Structure 1
Amino acid sequence: MLVIFFVIPFSIMLAVSFFRRNPAGFYSPDFVFDNYARFLSPFFGSVLGFSLLLAILVAIICVAVSVPFTVLLTRASRRAQTLWLVALLSVLSLSEVIIGFSWSTLLSRTAGITNLFVAIGLMEAPRALLPGFGAVLTGMVYQALPYTILILYPAIVRLDPTLMEAARTLGASPTRAFFNVVIPALRNTIVATLIMVFVFALGSYLLPQILGRPRHWTLSVLITDQAILQSNMPFAAAMAVFLVLISLALVGLTVMAGGRREA
């Protein structure tokens, strides 16, 4: 399965990234580095930097919100846990298109949340909260948050509750016990979750276009633009190879860090 669905497609994409674009057609087989050299230009370098920054922020915010929320969820009754999990799964059933246009309505001036703020006296007049970086970040966090909680939930459920009780017995406050007991016990899970959410956010395509301006578009948007609209498949393949290599490098660093901790 891994060979069929990853190794072979990635090998084809890697080969195409070295081909030469043919203006009269699609592309012609060759072995040139022009596509990678173009990718290192200031414009595409800034797009890559923005994509990485956005994915890092989404991963950090999702984990920072999900860990305490999931800890509290595991302490609730079984009925409450079931209701919350069903709600999270219902959010996962929404497509990225529905999420994007829902947030575009919620952040708009005419029918957005600012009208509620005006009604309760927090604002003088309604205004649009999009397009902008905040809108893109909010939509991507909303999309990735259910995944984060569902990834953390099994590990936190298996966490021994007597550890917190022992810390409280020894005089630790709830906050100190949380950071000194729960977080270290979930360190490997948190790191793995950060990487998974980072990779998930790095491939976001529709939300940056719906909620942001062109300067807020991620590298995935430019890859699609080059492959479909510009008919420059070799350059799109080069950018896609770079994204895959970044993801693999993060996984490799995590495995190395975990091996050193075990040693």
Structure 2
Amino acid sequence: MRSPDTGRTPRTLADHAPVIYPALMLLVFFVVPFGIMVTISFFERVPGGFYQPTFTFDNYGRFLSAFFGNVLGFSLGLSALAAVICVGLGFPFTYLLTRLTRRRQILWLVFLLSVLSLSEVIVGFAWSTLLSRSAGLSNLLVAVGLLEQPESWSPGFAALLVGMCYLAFPYTVLLLYPTLVRLDRELVEAAMTMGASPLRAFFTVVVGASRNAILSGLILAFVFTLGIYLLPQLLGRPQHWTISVMITDQAIFQSNLPFGAAMALFLMLVSLSLVGLTLLLGRRRAA
């Protein structure tokens, strides 16, 4: 392998210096913790204690239980629904954003970045307050005559879905923005000149040219919401707890670190598989 700067093959330690530091950081902060997690996932829990080193598949065998199947199915379905909503709302929003002046685009992007600065705890408590009975949005609807009395919408499935979409929406917009801002507006005008309606031109030209970005946005929102673990506890009920909450519960509160490690490994493999699928589809389309 030749160096792109000198054109010669690296032979000394100094030639490998630019690669050593990133490789060391990857080893310390990813490879080693990942290896420890994989190892612990095969350990056996000791009743009344912690765990003992052994080699067993019992932790992975619990994946076949009905309880884990329900939690996994609910988690995947909730994340998929949140991803579809984020992309469904974020795509037209981003398209209209790119039609604004440069200054207004920057203001909206700064606003979205400020939303990303909020922690999951702040977002969860804010939405629980807005959807509560005492100081929530229902009081405003009562004041304008749309409701007879205040209602509490949190905790519940709808509140959890709103909170997850609120967190994932800015990421979706920021991912779609580079593709849509580079889209030539004359293509839409040409389609309309040839007889296509504005709606048909939008779906044929704009959506058609952004298929890779849409797919990437769906996978990004899905993986991101799949890893959220505070909002289900703040905005949802126990039946709405996702696999991320169960990992925290097993590892910390139930002192069952081997099973928590096995679930974390499973969740990580699902996320990496989706990322790998995105890269594979992107390479095929590029080819």
> In 2 relative to 1, CA 72–236 (structure 1 residues): closer, same or farther, beyond 3 Å?
same
Q: Deviations over 1:69-118 (max 9, x none)?
A: 00100110112112111111111111111110110110011111111111
Partner Cα distance (2:134, 2:195) in 1:
53
> Judging changes above 3 Å, is the alpha-carbon distance between structure 1 residues 5 and 167 closer, same or farther for their aligned structure 2 residues?
farther
Residue of structure 1 aligned with 2:186, choices 146, 154, 162:
162
Q: Kindly state the Cα deviation for residue 121 of structure 1 after the two structures are TM-superposed.
A: 1.2
The verdict on how the C-alpha distance between 1:78 and 1:255 changes in structure 2, with shifts beyond 3 A counting, is: closer
Indicate the residue corresponding to 1:209 in structure 2. 233
CA–CA distance in structure 2, aligned partners of residues 151 and 247 of structure 1 = 18
Correspondence 1:69-148 to 2 at 5 A: 69-148=93-172
- Among all aligned residue pairs of Structure 1 and Structure 2, give the percentage whose two residues are the same amino acid: 66
Shift of 1:164: 1.0
1:180 aligns with 2:204: yes
Correspondence for 1:231: 255
The Cα RMSD (Å) is 1.4
Alpha-carbon distance in 2 for matches of 1:30, 1:163: 63
Moved more, 38-47 or 101-110: 38-47
Higher relative contact order (CA 8 A, sep 6+): 1
Give, as a single letter, the amino acid of the residue that structure 2 aligns with 1:224. Answer: T
Post-superposition offset of 1:24 = 5.0
Separation in structure 2 between the aligned mates of residue 11 and residue 173 of structure 1, nearest angstrom: 56
> Could you tell me how far 1:156 is from its partner in structure 2?
1.1
Cα drift, residue 259 of structure 1: 4.1
With structure 1 as the length reference, what TM-score do the two structures score?
0.95
Question: In the TM superposition, what is the alpha-carbon distance from 1:262 to its structure 2 partner?
Answer: 4.6
Q: How far apart are the structure 2 equivalents of 1:249 and 1:86? A: 32
Structure 1 pair 191–115 and aligned structure 2 pair: CA distance change class (3 A): same
SS of the residue aligned with 1:138?
Answer: helix
Displacement of 1:67 after TM fit?
A: 0.7
The CA deviation at 1:3 is 4.0
Please tell me the residue identity of whatever aligns with 1:155: T
Partner AA of 1:188 in structure 2: N
Stretches of structure 1 that go unaligned for 5 or more consecutive residues are: none
Match of 1:55 among 71, 74, 79: 79
For 2:237, give the aligned amino acid.
R
Q: Tell me, yes or no, if structure 1 residue 66 matches structure 2 residue 90.
A: yes
Tell me the equivalent position of 1:29.
53
Question: Which AA in structure 2 matches 1:27?
Answer: Y
| Deviation by residue 1:15-42 (Cα, 9 ceiling, x = unmatched) | 1111111235422221100001113211
Aligned length: 263
Paired residue for 1:8?
32
Return closer, same or farther for 1:87/1:262 CA change in 2, 3 Å cut-off.
closer
Task: Tell me the SS of whatever aligns to 1:191.
Answer: helix
Q: CA deviation at 1:68?
A: 0.6
Structure 1 pair 4/159, CA: closer, same or farther in 2 (3 Å)? farther
One-letter identity of the residue aligned with 1:231: S
The structure number with the bigger radius of gyration is: 2
For structure 2, the residue ranges without an aligned partner over 5 or more in a row are: 1-21
Distance in 2 separating the partners of 1:168 and 1:28: 69
The residue type equivalent to 1:126 in the other structure is P
